[in-house]
Amino acid sequence: MKIRTKFTLLNIALVTAAIAITTAFSLMQIHRDAVDQARAVQESHLRAFWELLKDKGTTFAVRDGKLHAGDYVVNGNYELPDKVKELFGGAATIFMGERRVSTNVLTPDGARAVGTVLDGPPRDALFRDGKPYRGEAVILGVPYFTAYDPIRNAGGEVIGALFVGVKKGDFYAGYERLKRGSIFIALLVGGVFGLISILLVGRLLSPLKAMVEKLRRIPDDESRVTDLGMRLDEGSMDEIGLVAGEFNALLEKMRQIIAQVADATGEINSFAGTISTAVHHQASFTSQLSSSVSEISSTMEEFTSTATEIARHSQEVVDIADTTHHNTREGAAQVETLTAKMGEISRDNQIAIQEIVELGRKSKEITKIMGIINTIANQTKLIAFNAALEAASAGEAGRRFGVVAQEIRRLADNVFESTGEIEGRITEILDTVNRLVVASEKSSGGIRDGLDYSTQTSGLLRELVSGAESTTEAARQISFSTQQQQTASSQVVIALRDIEEGVRFSSTSIQQTSEISRNLTVMAVELRKLVRRFTWGDENRASVTDYPAEPAAEAP
């Protein structure tokens, strides 16, 4: 519904309501005044009725089944009710007891309603409570404004009642005419006011209509461009003019914002590309990091296993070191004993060497003697050869001499063989002596060295005992350190598992970041499309950069 229609209907409704409320209030006041007037009129009529009745007689009694006012018989005498109707109009009745005995009220068939019985609240007020009654009552099916007064005899007993009334319909006839006239006038005034309101509202809202017409030019279609350079007419100085001014200011702000958004879109797209590249690199690094962490974890687990093995072995080393320490102390004592024995052996060996050298010297003397014997045997053999040659040249005469020469030569050969064997034996003895001497010298040197070594060894063993103690303590420290290392490596493995979990979480975050980066790029493209729907000049629209529709890189 248009504002113009709303304003018009609202004005009409307000005017109509105002008229209706005013009219209703006036009618209600009139109605209330009419009711009060009716009551006052009824009181006046009832007093007049009493005066007419009292003119007939001031005492009231029922005699012979009839109501008497003085001597005036009321039953069947309609003079007084008719007189009241003649004077004031309306209905008038005299009751004897609860029964109508004189009335100007007619039944539907046109007869006087005598003989009918009073009932309802008036009867209770009159005959039960002995009080007058004022108010509305239905008489013979017709509503009346009524007034009842009790008629009392000389003893004060209620013996009848005096009634005056007027039909509500008759009484409200003028009121109803007034009401209808007021409603008519109200409607007429409302209609006129509505017409005037339509004209005034239409005139007042005409700038707004122009604004709407301009605003309707903003396209709903995405393919069309919205010109942010348009401006509304700010001619009027009223609120509409102010709204147009504010709207123009809003358009200017919007133009500035869109321009900033266009620039920001480019930066967002650039940032999205940078983020995508960074995420790509980070994802690659995270992948390498994950692989490295896995390898380190595997290595550390092996290291932990090795550390456990080392800890076990280090404990064994501690045990061995203890044993070594004990054995080294015993060994040091035994080496000191050995050193003393080596001294005795060295002295005995020197004596043996001297004897062997003496034996070698004597053997060489024997060799010299054997050389002399060999020379003699050689000369003998040479002589024997020459003798044999001479014997051969002597023929048969030298035959025996040749035999002797041959025997001498054989004897010389035997001497050679014997001396050769002796020389061989002596040579063997000398070789043996030399070897013995060399061996003894070597043994002596070895013994001296052994003695020195034993002495040094004894010192070294003493140092070794101290070293074994240090080694034992160091082994204990190593065992303790390896146990700590085992614990530390286990903690490192746990930490590496946490790191591995963190790397996986980082990888997930990177994937999410990559997804966000892609979404950001897509949003930048969508934002660019949106920005391109606005223009405030061709050159400004052309400044909006085109961007790729998809992100340049994706995280692996």
Where on the chain is the footprint of another protein (CB under 8 A)?
Answer: 378-379, 381-382, 385-386, 388-389, 392-393, 406, 409
Helix (H, G, I), strand (E, B) or coil at 101: strand
Choice between 386 and 491, CB closer to another protein? 386
Choice between 325 and 381, CB closer to another protein? 381
For residue 154, give the nearest of 64, 74, 62, 73 by alpha carbon: 62
CA atoms within 13 A of residue 184's CA, in its CB half-sphere: 6
Q: Which residues pair with 139 in a beta bridge?
A: 142
Choice between 138 and 392, CB closer to another protein? 392
The token pair at 113 is: 């309603």
Closest approach of another protein to the CB of residue 388, in Å: 5
Closest approach of another protein to the CB of residue 431, in Å: 20
For residue 218, give the nearest of 243, 247, 238 by alpha carbon: 247
Closest approach of another protein to the CB of residue 397, in Å: 16
Choice between 368 and 442, CB closer to another protein? 368
For residue 164, give the nearest of 251, 238, 81 by alpha carbon: 81
Residue 24 CA to residue 117 CA, distance in Å, equals 39
Choice between 88 and 385, CB closer to another protein? 385
Kind and range of the H or E element at 522? Answer: helix 399-531
Residue 454 CA to residue 447 CA, distance in Å, equals 10
What percentage of the chain's residues is helix, strand, coil (to nearest 5)? 75, 10, 15
Q: Give the single-character DSSP code of 545.
A: P
Residue 246 CA to residue 141 CA, distance in Å, equals 71
Residues 6+ apart with CB under 8 A from 212: none
Choice between 40 and 394, CB closer to another protein? 394
The token pair at 536 is: 């405030």
Choice between 377 and 510, CB closer to another protein? 377
Q: Are 507 and 290 in contact (CB under 8 A)?
A: yes
Q: How far is CA 236 from CA 172, 240, 518, in A?
A: 55, 7, 50
Closest approach of another protein to the CB of residue 364, in Å: 21
Closest approach of another protein to the CB of residue 369, in Å: 19
Residues 6+ apart with CB under 8 A from 209: 4
Residue 92 CA to residue 103 CA, distance in Å, equals 6
Choice between 378 and 418, CB closer to another protein? 378
Choice between 68 and 409, CB closer to another protein? 409
Residue 327 CA to residue 316 CA, distance in Å, equals 16
Choice between 386 and 508, CB closer to another protein? 386
Closest approach of another protein to the CB of residue 386, in Å: 5
Residue 92 CA to residue 87 CA, distance in Å, equals 11
